[in-house]
Structure 1
C-alpha cells in the first residue's frame, strides 16, 4: 500500500511544473527555500544553490539534519519531496535539508574527463576535479556554517550527475556517506567513469557507504559499459558497503530518475522501526541497528518497546519460542517499569504451555498498570484465562 501510494504521488509530480515556482502550492509553503548566490573563487564565476529547509526547521532549534546535495538544481525538489514525505510519514526516513545545485556549464563540471568518444560531444567535459574542489572547499563549508546540519551527507544525480557522484566517491570517499547515481552516463570518454569506479572498488577493502545505481533501457554504447561496471563492482564489492542496483526494462534514460527515486531513498534510510525481516536473530544487532539509525539522523534513537515486543511475537508465531522469550526478556530489561513487556512474555509462555510462568508475568503487568491503560482489559482477560487453565 505504501509503494502504491508513493507511485501515484510520483506520477502526479511528473505532470507538475518543472520550475521552482511549482513549490507555491499549499503543501510546499511549509518548506522554506533559501536561494544562495555567491562568487566561487574556485570556478571563477557566480554560483547559485537552492537550500530547502525542513518544515519544522524554524521551531526545532536544537535539531540538526542530514543533507542531500542534489545535482541539476531545484527542478527535482517536487518529486523528492513527494517520496521523502511518504517515507517520513512511516518514520522510514528523517527530515532532511536539500541543497539543489544549479548548473552553469553542466558537461564541463560534471564529467571528470574530456570526451574523445565520437558517440557524444567531443572535447566537452574535464572540469570534474575543479567542481569537486568547489563543493569541498566552498559549498559544503558555506552550508555547514550557515545551517543546522550534522555530518551525514548524500550526493544524488542522474546521467552526468550520476557520473559525478561516483567520481566524488572515488576521489574523496569520506566526503559523502551515500551516492545516488540514476542512469549514470558511464559511456563517456570510452567508458572512463565505469573503469574508474571498478578500479576504486578493487583498491577498497572496506567501505562503510551506501551506493544506489540504476539503469533503464539504454542501448549501446551506454549499456555495455554500464553492465561491465556493475559486474566489476559485484566482483570486488568492499566489506561494509550497502549497494542497491535496479534495472527498469522499457524505461527511457530521461525517466530513470522518476522510476528509481523511491527505491533509492527507501533503501538508503533506516526506518525508526526495526522490522522482523531486518532482524538477524542476534539481540546485540538491535542496538547496532539503532546506532546506524542515530548516525543517519544525528540524534540518539533507541529501539521502542513495542518494536522489541513485536519481534518477540514474530518468533512466537514462528514457534521459535526460545528466541521469542529471549527477546521478551530483553524488552523487560530495557523497559522494566512498563507493563507491556510483561504481557509480551506472558503471551509467549502461554503459547508454550508454561501457564504458571505466564501468570507470574501477567500479574506483574497488572501490578504496573491501571484500569486506564490501553492494555488493561487484555491483561485481566489473560489472567483469568491462565487461572482457568491452571485449575483444569
Structure 2
C-alpha cells in the first residue's frame, strides 16, 4: 500500500512538472492590501484559444495549492476530469482573521467579512475576466477555511457549484445550516471528509453533518462523504483531494462497469437519452463540447441489446455516424436496428456501408461481411 501511494505521488509530481505555477500579487480594495496568488493554467492553455476551463479556488494556498494542482493535472492528463484552472490564495499569516465570524450569528465579521467580499466580489470576477473560465467553479478549504467556504453556499445564487471541505472546523450552527441549505438546493457538488484520528470535536461535527445529510431527499444535490481509517487531521488531505475530484467528476469519465450494471441495465427510461443527456450536462457544467467516446457508445448499445430496446439503435446509429463518421460503428447499429425490426435489405445495405469504413473495437471487416452473408443466406439472395 505504501509503495502504491508513493508511486501515485511520484506520478503526480512528474506530471505536474509540465504545468508551471504563475505567482501573482493581487491588490484588494476590500482588504486594503495585496494577496499572493498561485495560478496553474492547463497544458496548452495558450494554444487552445477557444477552450474554457472550470475554475478551482484553493484557500490555504500556502500548503494546499500544490496537492490540489498536482492532482488536477494528473487526473486531467488521463482524461478523468476536465483540464481546470487552479488558483491558490496564500493565507499563512492571515487565515484565522480571514475566517473570523461573530459569536452571535456565527457569520463572517470584521476581517472575515472583508475576506468573504474579496473572494466573491474581487478575486472570482477578476479571474473570470482574465482567464477563459467555464461555468463550473469549485472552492477548496481545510479546517478553518473548510468551514469558511460554506458561507458562499448560503448565498441565494452561489458563485461556487462545488465545495471540497476537508476536516472542517465547523461553527456551532453549521451542521443544521448546511443540511438545511443542501436540502433545498440544486446542482451543488459537496465533498466532506474526516478521519479516525481527526480532532475529536471536528470528527463529531463532521459525522453529525453526514448523518443529517442521510435524511435529505434531494436528487439535485451530489453529496459525498469519507471517513478515512488511520488518517489524521493533516494526512487525510492527501487522501481526500483525489477522492473529491473522483466523485465530483464521475460524470466526465467513461461509463464504468459499475455504472453499466447499476444504472444502464435497470434504466426504465431511454438508454439513448441517458447518453445524450450525460454529454449535454457535462458540456453545460464544464463548458467543453466533447466527442462521445467509443467506450460509451458500446456500453449504451450493449445495455440496449440486453434489454431489447431495438428502436433505440436507430438514433444511436445516426449519432455514432455523426460523432465518428470514418468508423463502421454507426452503420453496425443501423444494421442491427433494421435486422431486429424486420427490414433485412436495409440491414444488409447498412452492414455493406460499414464494411467500407475503419474498424473499431470488436467490429472488423470480416465481422461486417459475415453479417451481410448471413442475411443473404437466410433469405436465399
Q: Please give the range of the TM-score, normalised by the shorter of the 2 chains.
A: 0.7 to 0.9
Cα distance in 2 for residues equivalent to 1:290 and 1:258:
30
How has the CA–CA distance of structure 1 residues 126 and 254 changed in structure 2, closer, same or farther, with 3 Å as cutoff? Answer: farther
1:320 maps to which of 287, 301, 307: 307
Matches within 5 A, 1:273-352: 273-275=254-256, 276=260, 277-279=262-264, 280=267, 281-282=269-270, 283-301=272-290, 303-304=292-293, 307-316=296-305, 319-321=306-308, 323=309, 325-336=310-321, 338=325, 339-344=328-333, 346=335
SS at match of 2:158: coil
CA contact (8 A) 1:155 1:165 kept: yes
Cα distance in 1 for residues equivalent to 2:186 and 2:20:
35
Cα distance in 1 for residues equivalent to 2:143 and 2:344:
59
Q: Residue 65 in 1 paired to residue 65 in 2? A: no
Cα distance in 1 for residues equivalent to 2:307 and 2:138:
39
Cα distance in 2 for residues equivalent to 1:333 and 1:309:
14
Q: Residue 158 in 1 paired to residue 139 in 2? A: no
SS at match of 1:30: coil
How has the CA–CA distance of structure 1 residues 208 and 74 changed in structure 2, closer, same or farther, with 3 Å as cutoff? Answer: same
Root mean square deviation, CA, Å:
3.5
- 1:355 is displaced (CA, Å) by 10
1:200 maps to which of 177, 181, 185: 181
Q: How many residues align?
A: 361
CA contact (8 A) 2:317 2:333 kept: no
Cα distance in 1 for residues equivalent to 2:163 and 2:280:
21
2:33 maps to which of 17, 28, 45: 45
Flag structure 2 segments of 5+ consecutive residues without an equivalent.
Answer: none
- 1:278 is displaced (CA, Å) by 4.7
1:107 maps to which of 80, 92, 96: 96
SS at match of 1:60: coil
CA contact (8 A) 2:162 2:189 kept: yes
Query: TM-score if structure 1 supplies the norm length?
Result: 0.79
How has the CA–CA distance of structure 1 residues 95 and 168 changed in structure 2, closer, same or farther, with 3 Å as cutoff? Answer: same
- 1:358 is displaced (CA, Å) by 6.2
Query: TM-score if structure 2 supplies the norm length?
Result: 0.81
How has the CA–CA distance of structure 1 residues 72 and 9 changed in structure 2, closer, same or farther, with 3 Å as cutoff? Answer: farther
Matches within 5 A, 1:1-392: 7=5, 9-12=7-10, 27-73=15-61, 75-103=63-91, 104-113=93-102, 127-171=111-155, 173-186=157-170, 188=171, 191-201=172-182, 205-217=184-196, 218-269=198-249, 270-271=251-252, 273-275=254-256, 276=260, 277-279=262-264, 280=267, 281-282=269-270, 283-301=272-290, 303-304=292-293, 307-316=296-305, 319-321=306-308, 323=309, 325-336=310-321, 338=325, 339-344=328-333, 346=335, 357=343, 360-370=346-356, 373=359, 375-388=364-377
Query: Which is worse superposed, 358-367 or 175-184?
Result: 358-367
